[in-house]
A and B are shown apart, each in its own frame.
Chain A
Amino acid sequence: MFDPLWEKKTPVLSPGTVIQGKWKHQTYRIVRLLGQGANGSVYLVWRDQVQAALKIGPDTTALALEYTHLENLAKDPSSTRKLGPAALELDDMTFQGVSWSVLVMEYIDGIPVDQFIQAKGTHWVPVCLLKIARMMELLHAKGYSFCDLKPANILFDAQTAQARFVDFGGITRHTQAVKEFTEAYDRAWWGRGSRKADMYYDVFALGMLGVQFVAPISRKTIEYLSTKTPIERDFWLDEHLRTHRQADMVVPILMKMTVRTPSMNSEAVIADMTDLLEKRGNLLVEKEITLSTKKTWRRFDVTDWWLLASVLTFVSILFILLWIGRS
C-alpha cells in the first residue's frame, strides 16, 4: 500500500548515459554529478546543445513544488534580476525498471558563497551579504522566504559575480512552518524566535551566514551545542559575537541581524551594508563586478591623452623634417 522512500534511493547515472523524459520526450545526456540535496541528486546534462541541471529523485511532490516555485518566480516581469535557475521541464523517466521524477533547470555555473569568500578574502563578506539581501528582498515582496539559507544553496555566478539561489526545496510561504532548515542558521534552534516563515527568519539566517565567515562556528561546536537548551545556545551566541566584535566591521551589523526581537528587514540590511561599504570606501569593488559583464568601451583617461599628444607631436616633427629636407 505505501511506497517507502528508503527503498528508492536516487539512481546512479554514469556520464554518457542518455535518458528520455516520458511526457515531453526530451533527451538528456549525463555529463557529471553536481551534488546531492535533500530531494535528490543533481546532474549536469546536455539538453540539445545547451547544458542544463537535472534533478532526479523519488519524491514527486517535492520536485513538483520546486518546479512551481521556479515557474512563479520566472513569471513575474517586474523582477529583471534573476533569483534562481529557470525551470525547463518537469517530467518522469524510467531507469532500470524504476520510475523517477525529474526536474530540469537552467545550469548555473558558479561556486558556493563560502568558496567564493575563501578565494577573495573576508573583506568581500559585506558585498556578498548585500547581494544576497537584494535577492531576499525580491522573494519577500512576493510573500515567500527562502528559509534554508546555507552556503551550498547560494552560488556566485563565475561570469557575472551575481548571486543566485539554487535549491528551492525549502522555499516557504509566509506564516507557514519552515520546511527545510540547517541548525546553525535556524532562528528557533538558537532560541531566538519561532520556526514560522517570515522575512525576519531569512534575515537571521543571513546574519548567521555572515557569522560563519568572520567568526566561524565549527561543526564540533554545533554538535556540542545540540545537547544544550536553546536558552544556553542563545547565551553562547551572545558571548561568541561579543568576543569577536573586533574581528570585522561587519560584526555589529550581524549582531543586529540576529537579535531575538527582529528589527531589520532585508531593506535595512541592504542600507546598513551599503553604509559599511561606503565607510570602507570599497563600494568601487562592488561597482566593478556588476559592470564587468557589460562590454562597454573604456573611457579615455589622462594616459591616453598623453599618448595621443605624443604621437601627434612625433608625426608633425616628422613632417617638418621631411619639409626641411625637401627644401
Chain B
Amino acid sequence: MSSETVLRQILLVTDGCSNVGSDPIRAAKTGLSRGISTSVIGIIDDGSLGEQGKREAYEIAEAGGGMCRIISVADLSMTMQMVTRQTMQLTLQQVVNEELRNLIGKPTDELAPDVRIKVAAMVDTMAEESDLHMALVIDVSASMAPKMASVREAVRDMEFGLKARSGRCHLHVFTYPSAYSLSADEHVMEDRSGSIADMLMHIRPAGNTPTGPALLAAIDRLLPSFNDRGKEDARKHMRDYVV
C-alpha cells in the first residue's frame, strides 16, 4: 500500500493579498476536489501582508484542506519543511481514516490508544516512502524583492529535505507573476542538487499578485493526466524560459 500511495500537494509562499485574476480560494477548493491539498505560508515582514492578506491565507488553506502559518522570513526554511511534513501526515491520516471507516466504521480519533499507535507507525512509514508530487508556488511580486535571498535558500534547503526521503519526489516550483504569461513560470528540479534555487537567483521580483491563476497552473501540473497530455507543452515552456 505504502509504495503505491501518491501524495499531491501545493505549498503557497506569499507576502501579500491576491489582486489580479481568478479567486485563489476557489482555485484551492478545485484542487482539493481533485485530491490536491493546498497549504499557505504568509510572510509578515515589512507588513505588506496585512489583516486582509492573513485572512486570505487562512481561507485558501481552509479551502485547500491544508495548513496555514504566518511567520517572519527568518523562519521560512524550517516552516516550509514542517508544513510539508505535517500536510503529508494529515493527508495520509485521512487516507487511513477513510479505510478504517470502511473496515470497522470508526475514524482514528475514536480508536483506543494501543490501536492508534500502530496506525501512527504506518502513517510515519508512508510519509517516508510514498511518492510525493509537490508544487511550490512562490510569490515574486515587487514586495518580495528584499526577501528573495532567504526564499532562494529556503527552496534549496527544501530540496535537501525532500531528497533525504526514501520515497520518490517530483518538485515543481512556480513563480508568479510570470515574466512571460498571465499566470506563473515553472522551474523543474534537475539531477543536480540546488538547481531550482539557482534558477530563482535570476528572477527580478516585480508586478502584481495573481495568486489564483498561479494556483490553477500548479493544480494543472499536478493532475495525474498531465504527464501524458502536457509533456510537450512543458518542454516547450522550459525552452522558452531558458531562451
Query: Using a CB–CB distance below 8 Å, which chain A residues touch chain B?
Result: 1-7, 23, 38, 59-62, 64-65, 67-68, 89-92, 99, 175-183, 188-189, 194-196, 223, 226-230
Contacts and interface: CB of A to CB of B under 8 A. Distances in A.
Given A5-B86, A7-B62, A226-B153, 8 more contacts: A1-B65, A5-B90, A6-B61, A61-B89, A178-B161, A226-B154, A227-B150, A229-B153
B117 to A, nearest CB: 5
A38 B79 CA distance: 11
Nearest to A178: B164
Contacts of A195: 160-161, 163-164
Contacts of A188: 157, 160-161, 164
Interface in B67-81: 67-69, 74, 77-78
Given A59-B86, A177-B128, A194-B160, A6 B68 contact: yes
Contacts of B18: none
Given A5-B67, A38-B82, A61 B124 contact: yes
Contacts of A228: 149, 153
Contacts of A230: 156, 194
A82 to B, nearest CB: 21
A196 B164 contact: yes
Contacts of B74: 223, 226
A6 B65 CA distance: 11
Residue in A2, A38, A175, A228 whose Cβ sees the most chain B Cβ within 10 Å: A2
Identify whether the interface residues of B are mostly helix, strand, loop, or mixed: helix
Contacts of B65: 1-2, 4
Contacts of B163: 194-195
A64 B116 contact: yes
A60 B109 contact: yes
Nearest to B93: A61
Interface of B: 32, 37, 58, 61-62, 65-69, 74, 77-78, 82, 85-86, 89-90, 93-94, 108-109, 112-113, 116-117, 119-121, 123-124, 128, 149-150, 153-154, 156-157, 160-166, 194
A222 B8 CA distance: 32
Nearest to A219: B74
A181 B117 CA distance: 23
A61 B120 contact: yes
Contact of B120 (A23, A68, A92, A178): A68
A65 B121 CA distance: 6
Given A2-B37, A6-B58, A179-B85, A226 B164 contact: no
A229 B164 contact: no
A182 B82 CA distance: 11
A315 B85 CA distance: 80
B125 to A, nearest CB: 9
Contacts of B109: 60, 92, 99
B199 to A, nearest CB: 14
Of A91, A176, A226, most buried by chain B (CB within 10 Å of CB) is: A226
B77 A4 contact: no
A118 to B, nearest CB: 24
Contact of A68 (B62, B93, B121, B156): B121
Contact of B116 (A5, A7, A38, A60): A60
Contacts of A38: 82
Contacts of A1: 32, 65, 94
B78 A183 contact: yes
A194 B90 contact: no
A6 B194 CA distance: 30
A68 B115 CA distance: 12
Contact of B157 (A6, A90, A189): A189
A90 B112 CA distance: 9
8 contacts: A5-B67, A60-B116, A62-B120, A65-B124, A177-B164, A179-B85, A196-B164, A226-B153
A64 B94 contact: no
Contact of A226 (B32, B108, B117, B150): B150
Contacts of A189: 77, 157
A286 B164 CA distance: 38
Nearest to B65: A2
Given A4-B62, A6-B58, A64-B117, A227 B166 contact: no
